[in-house]
Amino acid sequence: MIGTGLVDPSVINAHIIFSALIGAIFWNVITWYYGLPSSSSHALIGGILGASIAHAGLRPLHWIGICKVLSFIVISPLLGVAMGMLFIVITARLFFYATPYRIHSIFRKLQLVSSACISLGHGSNDAQKTMGIIAVLLYSSHRLGDHFYIPIWVVITCNFVIALGTAFGGWRVVKTMGMKITKLKPISGFCSDTASAVTLAVATMLGIPVSTTHTITGAIIGVGSINGVSAVRWGVAKNIVLAWVITIPAAGVVAAIVWQVMSWGLDSFLP
């Protein structure tokens, strides 16, 4: 969807891509510093929209695609909450008579499987956004011919880099997700991972660029809320949601400023 579903590819150029990336990176660094799990995907979307509007106004925007993205900012965490609650209830009933030690032992192993599933969903959904950015730049520079497609080298490179980034990700955000929202045990970690993986799989099949961050956060809140409202640290959850709401406009404003600065004659460093 990022490749052609948000903005007319004919208006995209290297300056817009550069501005969008700077906007997204700026917002990602800010949220990383404060340990807030914001969406890199939506920061990238905001950057593309902001730079495109600065370049050509509202004319090249595809409003249907934009509305789909905005709607899933709300829908995906709610789905995560619902799926998280569903999975923890079903799992708790299935293992109702098992001892705490046995439950802990079983789900420590199963969480490796559920983590692998969410990693697969993360790669299949999030890596496509980066592929779309690269492919639309190649298309706008007439390097893909007359048809828009994603070259295999772009696919391989993006998946490798996103795996590398996940492996060396920011531990401030990891601490927030694993410890600050609610207290997670192996069984609740398994259920939140599985719920998020299912949500991501459905979104990928529908071609919706949802955020892994939104779905897993929603699933963690859903799993934690089963133990009571007080089991979730709602102050932390509020700050996370606020970061989600600000992400697209914040990245968009930064990208628009960067594009405007380059338009004043500081773009000689770009081809």
Listing DSSP states for 103-142 in one string gives HHHHHHHHHHHHHHHHHHHHHHHHHHHHHHHHHHHHHHTT
List phi, psi (to 5°) of 7: -140, 145
Q: Taking CA 84 as the corner, what is the angle to CA 233 and CA 228, rounded to the nearest 5 degrees?
A: 40
Of residues 132, 150, 129, the one with CA closest to residue 209:
129
**pLDDT of 253 above 90:** yes
Which residue would you say has higher pLDDT here, 126 or 237? Answer: 237
Average of per-residue pLDDT values in the chain = 84
pTM: 0.80
CB atoms within 10 A of CB 252: 26
Of residues 172, 193, 214, the one with CA closest to residue 72:
214
Kindly state the percentage of the chain with pLDDT values over 70.
Answer: 92
Residue pLDDT, tens place only, 59-108: 888 888 888 888 878 888 888 899 999 999 999 899 988 888 899 899 99
Q: What is the pLDDT of residue 209?
A: 61
